[in-house]
């Protein structure tokens, strides 16, 4: 009898193409913990990270923060039309 292929513990909570254009951070917390992190979430925004998606996975909140790779570089040698 063949065994089923192994599955990943949890699928990525964002589309794969996001990885090509942005640095991504995934955070998991209970809804109570998430409410307590309002200052931390504001600080992420000040550092250039944007909250891209929030979803629930059972008892956990799953938040995806992203920062485009051009934002990370700080300055770009290309113009806006490039």
* pLDDT tens, position by position, 17-56: 999 999 999 999 998 998 888 898 899 999 999 999 999 9
- Residue 56 domain flag: yes
pTM of this structure: 0.69
- Residue 11 domain flag: no
Using pLDDT thresholds of 50, 70 and 90, give the confidence band for residue 73: low
| Number of domains observed in the structure of the chain | 1
- Residue 78 domain flag: no
Max CA pair span of the chain: 59
Closest CA to 54 of 24, 27, 21: 27
User: How high is the pLDDT of residue 78?
Assistant: 47
- Residue 28 domain flag: yes
- Residue 82 domain flag: no
The single-letter DSSP state of residue 80 is T
- Residue 26 domain flag: yes
Which residue range is the domain that position 64 belongs to?
A: 18-73
Percentage of the chain modeled with pLDDT above 90: 52
- Residue 13 domain flag: no
- Residue 36 domain flag: yes
Closest CA to 54 of 68, 41, 72: 41
């Amino acid at each position: 009898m063949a065994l089923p292929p192994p599955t990943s513990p949890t699928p990525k909570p964002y589309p794969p193409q996001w990885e090509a254009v942005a640095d991504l951070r995934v955070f998991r917390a209970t809804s109570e913990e998430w409410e307590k992190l309002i200052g931390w979430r504001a600080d992420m925004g000040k550092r250039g990270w944007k909250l891209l998606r929030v979803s629930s996975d059972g008892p956990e909140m799953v938040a995806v923060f992203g920062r485009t790779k051009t934002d990370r570089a700080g300055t770009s040698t290309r113009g806006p039309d490039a």
